Amino acid sequence: MSKPIHQLMFIGGQLVVLLVVVLASIATGEANIPISQTPEIVRSGEGTEYFILTQIRLPRIILAFAVGGALSLSGTILQGVFRNPLVEPYTLGISGGAAFGVALAIVGGLHLTGHGYMLPLAGFSGAAVTIFMVGILGFLRGGADITRMLLIGVMISFVASSSMMFLMSVTTAENLHGIIFWIMGSLDEPNHHLIKVATITSIIGLAGSYLFVNQLNALQLGKNKATHLGINTTLSVRILFIVASLLTGVCVSVAGVIGFVGLAVPHIIRLMTGGDHRLLLVSSFLGGSIFLIACDILARTVISPNELPIGVITGIIGGFVFMIVLNKSRIQKEHHGK
Amino acid sequence: MANNYLALNSISCGYGKSFNLNGISLSVARGAFAGIIGPNGSGKTTLFKGISGILPIKKGSICLSGVPLESMKLREKARKMAVVSQFPEGTDMTVQDYVLLGRLPHRNAFNFLESARDKVLARKYMRLTGIYHYREKQMSQLSGGEQQLAAIAQALTQEPELLLLDEPTSHLDINHQMQMLNLIQSLNKELNLTVLMIIHDLNLAAEYCDQLILINDGKIYTQGTPAEVLTFQNIEAVYNAVVIAQTNPLSGKPVIFPVSGNILKTHRTDINNHHKTMTDNRLFNQSNNNHKQ
């Protein structure tokens, strides 16, 4: 079978799985709405059940789709650029910066104003400052030195999280609760404008990074080899870094810190599909969406009617799935080797 | 000088201010098979990086068929010059995908799909380098030598005019070393590919190259045919090693024999006599040649 057909089939399979988790997620929740009745309810256009479906469950699914996809895409881009499977969106200090921004806003009482835009804005500002600092310090010496940027990101992450802990240790119990709640991440976003922003950003991010898919593939051979293949590596690395950072910044500011999607999902998808980014970018976006929607179903049902923070589920499930997949792939490789 | 394909005009380059290649001038004719030799740390790799565009050239210029490299776009350069480095990357890409990346400089930057011709070329050069049956394997599953063959296949799909190789035989046994160099030799002859490679092994360098450039301390010590460059005097001066240089009876190319410390102690006179004969022969040959002219 030729390769493009193989790739399309993989993406087709993912779309089917995505449809299944979306339907499951629509049918899951406190109010018992059977999936067979949903077309009718949607058509009727009124009533509590209509409201629950279109104003509570659907926005949540869309947000999970966008955030899961964007985080996973961002992880794929960064792992590709840095050629290091341990890099994820948060390694570069973006989540630390965002969390610090939010903590600062909460301690300063800004969250009481601004119609719920204040915390996302503070989170995004924190993320943007971090991106800016990593970018400036990393790009300072002309050619974007990849290892240097990674180290700078890790250091900024430390500084940001320590500063945040400082704020947490001197503030009131109420603020502390607000900060912790935000850090744990949540897909419960009442502001539909923010959901729109996240969705549009993630789709644009996917399209934008796809324009650099040749460059990403060439960068897998190292910066020097990519240069020898006629790629302007410095420019490509910078653009890809900025795209990944913006995606992460928007996700963090809307949904808080949802760990592990950006680390584990790209890695698992890569083990399944191989290293061709023409497939990898799309399939890890879809993989991230599927993963986060599925995790959200669990977060809402495990201790129903209460809800677990989504980060708890992604961390636990993601961690175990990751270890199982890694172990399997090692066994397979050993078989191939012999 | 019309057939000077690659020309370096007194270039200087290096890392920051620490180490510089100074005033390197050399030219390689179209279709030549040239080798860069020199001791560890002499600047071979710096020169290689300068030519391949990884290190900036601080002074002087490099021209390909008379066109300065700095006036070319990266993609344009990549269509003329392909580079095979010492350690190709063992990625999780399949060999086929890896080789196909060699077509990138020929495609529009935003064109993601390989054309039928791209695939034909990749297949052709995978067959030529003998890695076609590994094409579905991941690069990381290949041995070092096979990865290097894949890197050469990738370089060939770039359809370059000049092939730069950094020690293509460094981690191969004698059989694979010769297979590799025979392959490069046949590419050089059949595709009229100009080859410039760094090579450590002086005997292999002598046997395969028709032009050698001996580098020492960031400068060209001497250059010319293998017989001109690989004399015991040059090797003693540059490598600080005592050797005996003789001639391969089949190819007429020089062969270098190392002289170990023990032999040096016990046979000093023999070696001196040998060196003297070699020098006399050389002078004799030279004067003969002069007479002929």
**What confidence tens digit (pLDDT) does each residue in B56-96 have?**
888 889 999 889 998 999 999 999 999 998 887 778 889 99
Stretch A243-272: mean pLDDT:
87
- B93 to A274: CB separation less than 8 angstroms, yes or no: yes
- Checking if the pLDDT of B190 tops 50, the result is yes
List chain B residues with CB under 8 Å of A333.
Answer: 141
* Per-residue model confidence as pLDDT tens digits over B201-239: 999 999 999 999 999 988 899 999 999 999 988 998 999
pLDDT at B109 > cutoff 90: no
pLDDT at residue B195 in the model: 95
The token pair that represents B100 in the structure block: 């196909």
Computed on alpha carbons and rounded to an integer, the radius of gyration of chain B in Å comes to 21
Domains within chain A, CATH numbers bracketed: 3-337 (1.10.3470.10)
Q: Which of A213, A230, A278 sits opposite B75 (nearest CB)?
A: A230
More confident residue, B100 or A245: B100
Domain boundaries, chain B: 90-158
CB contact under 8 A, A213 and B112: yes
Q: Which residues pair with B254 in a beta bridge?
A: B247
Residue B285: per-residue pLDDT: 67
Taking all residues of chain B, what is their mean pLDDT, rounded to a whole number?
Answer: 88
The candidate with the shortest Cα–Cα distance to A206, out of A68, A48, A44, is: A68
> Looking at the complex, does the CB of residue B91 fall below 8 Å from at least one CB of chain A?
yes
How many angstroms from the chain centroid is the CA of residue A284?
Answer: 10
Chain B residue with CA closest to A211: the answer is: B110
A84 shares contact with chain B (CB less than 8 Å):
no
Are B105 and A230 within 8 A, CB to CB?
A: yes
Cα–Cα distance, B272 to A219 (Å, whole number): 54
Mean pLDDT value of segment B247-270: 87
Q: Is the pLDDT of residue A116 over 80?
A: no
Distance CA A211, CA A227 (A): 18
Residue scoring higher pLDDT (B33 or A118): B33
CA dist list (Å): A145 to A111, A152, A227, A323: 38, 11, 14, 31
What is the per-residue pLDDT for B17? 67
Tell me, what's the pLDDT at A331? 56
More confident residue, B264 or B122: B122
Pick A275's closest partner by Cβ from B92, B109, B113.
B92
Q: Chain A closest CA to B77's CA: distance in Å? A: 7
Please give the pLDDT value at position B18: 62
